[in-house]
Structure 1
Amino acid sequence: MSTIHFLNVKQGDCTWIRHNSGNITVIDVNNAQKVQAEKSYGSIVESAEYKAIQGNYNRKAYPVNPIEYLSKLGVSSVFRFVVTHPDMDHMGGIKEFFNTFKVTNLWDTNNNKEIGSFEGSPYSEDDWNFYKQLRDDTNNDLTRLTLYSGARGKFYNINENDESGGDGLYILAPTEDLVKEANEKKDYNDCSYVILYRTGNGKKIVFGGDSDNKTWEHILNTYKDDVTDVDILIAPHHGRDSGRSYEFLDVLKPKMTYFGNAKCEHLAYDAWNNRGLPKITNNQADCIITDIVGDTINIYATYETFAKGYNEHTYYDSNFKAWFLCSI
Structure 2
Amino acid sequence: MTIIKSMSVGDGDLCYVYHNSNSFTIIDCNLTGERDDEIIRELKEKSANKSVKRFISTHPDQDHISGIEKLDAHGLINNFYVVANNAHKEERTVSFNHYCDLRDGGKAFYLFKNCKRKWMNQGDDTRGPAGISILWPDTENPYFRNALSECNRGISYNNTSAVLRYSLQGGATVMWLGDLETSFMESIEDSITLEKTTVVFAAHHGRKSGKIPDSWLRKLDPQIIVIGEAPSRHLDYYTGYDKITQNKAGDITMELIDNEIHFYSSKPGYRHRNLPNRGKASFPNYIGSLTVETEYTLG
Provide TM-score, normalisation by structure 1: 0.77
Task: Give 1:149-168 correspondences, 5 Å limit.
Answer: 149-161=113-125, 166-168=129-131
CA distance in 2, matches of 1:24, 1:166: 11
Superposed CA offset, 1:184-242 (max 9, x none): 22322221110111111142211111123434543554413xx2x31100111111001
The question of whether the paired residues in 1 share the 8 Å contact of 2:211 and 2:236 is answered with: no
Of 69, 86, 91, which residue of structure 2 is paired with 1:117?
91
Provide the residue aligned with 1:104 in structure 2.
78
Provide the residue aligned with 1:3 in structure 2.
3
Provide the residue aligned with 2:205 in structure 1.
238
Amino acid in the other structure paired with 2:271: A
Partner SS for 1:242: helix
Q: How far apart are 1:323 and its partner, in Å?
A: 2.2
Task: Give 1:3-22 correspondences, 5 Å limit.
Answer: 3-22=3-22
Amino acid in the other structure paired with 2:206: G
Tell which structure's C-alpha radius of gyration is larger.
Answer: 1
Provide the residue aligned with 1:260 in structure 2.
228
The question of whether the paired residues in 2 share the 8 Å contact of 1:239 and 1:267 is answered with: yes
CA distance in 1, matches of 2:199, 2:21: 21
After superposing on structure 2, the runs of 4+ consecutive aligned residues of structure 1 that deviate more than 6 Å are: 34-37, 308-312
CA distance in 1, matches of 2:147, 2:87: 9
Of 177, 183, 191, which residue of structure 1 is paired with 2:160?
191
Q: How far apart are 1:327 and its partner, in Å?
A: 2.3
The question of whether the paired residues in 1 share the 8 Å contact of 2:207 and 2:235 is answered with: yes
CA distance in 2, matches of 1:25, 1:156: 9
Partner SS for 1:327: strand
Of 228, 251, 271, which residue of structure 1 is paired with 2:219?
251
Identity %: 27
Provide the residue aligned with 1:40 in structure 2.
none
CA distance in 2, matches of 1:100, 1:149: 30
Amino acid in the other structure paired with 1:231: T
Provide the residue aligned with 1:133 in structure 2.
101
Provide the residue aligned with 1:207 in structure 2.
176
CA spacing shift, 1:314–1:284, aligned 2, 3 Å: farther
The reply to whether residue 290 of structure 1 matches residue 258 of structure 2 is no
CA spacing shift, 1:279–1:19, aligned 2, 3 Å: same
The reply to whether residue 176 of structure 1 matches residue 149 of structure 2 is no
Partner SS for 1:250: helix
Provide the residue aligned with 2:265 in structure 1.
301
Amino acid in the other structure paired with 2:184: K
Of 273, 277, 300, which residue of structure 1 is paired with 2:241?
277
Q: How far apart are 1:110 and its partner, in Å?
A: 1.4
Aligned-pair RMSD on alpha carbons? 2.9
The question of whether the paired residues in 2 share the 8 Å contact of 1:259 and 1:282 is answered with: yes
Amino acid in the other structure paired with 1:299: F
The question of whether the paired residues in 2 share the 8 Å contact of 1:290 and 1:297 is answered with: yes
The reply to whether residue 147 of structure 1 matches residue 114 of structure 2 is no
Structure whose residues are more often helix by fraction? 1
CA distance in 1, matches of 2:190, 2:257: 29
Structure 1 gap ranges (5+): 38-64, 119-124
CA distance in 2, matches of 1:157, 1:316: 30
Q: How far apart are 1:182 and its partner, in Å?
A: 1.8
Provide the residue aligned with 1:53 in structure 2.
none
Q: How far apart are 1:32 and its partner, in Å?
A: 5.4
Q: How far apart are 1:314 and its partner, in Å?
A: 8.1
The question of whether the paired residues in 2 share the 8 Å contact of 1:86 and 1:111 is answered with: no
The question of whether the paired residues in 2 share the 8 Å contact of 1:194 and 1:208 is answered with: yes
Deviates most, 65-74 or 180-189? 65-74
The question of whether the paired residues in 2 share the 8 Å contact of 1:170 and 1:196 is answered with: yes
Deviates most, 17-26 or 241-250? 241-250
Superposed CA offset, 1:104-157 (max 9, x none): 211012122122126xxxxxx211111121123x3x4xx311111111222111
Amino acid in the other structure paired with 1:259: I
The question of whether the paired residues in 1 share the 8 Å contact of 2:59 and 2:161 is answered with: yes
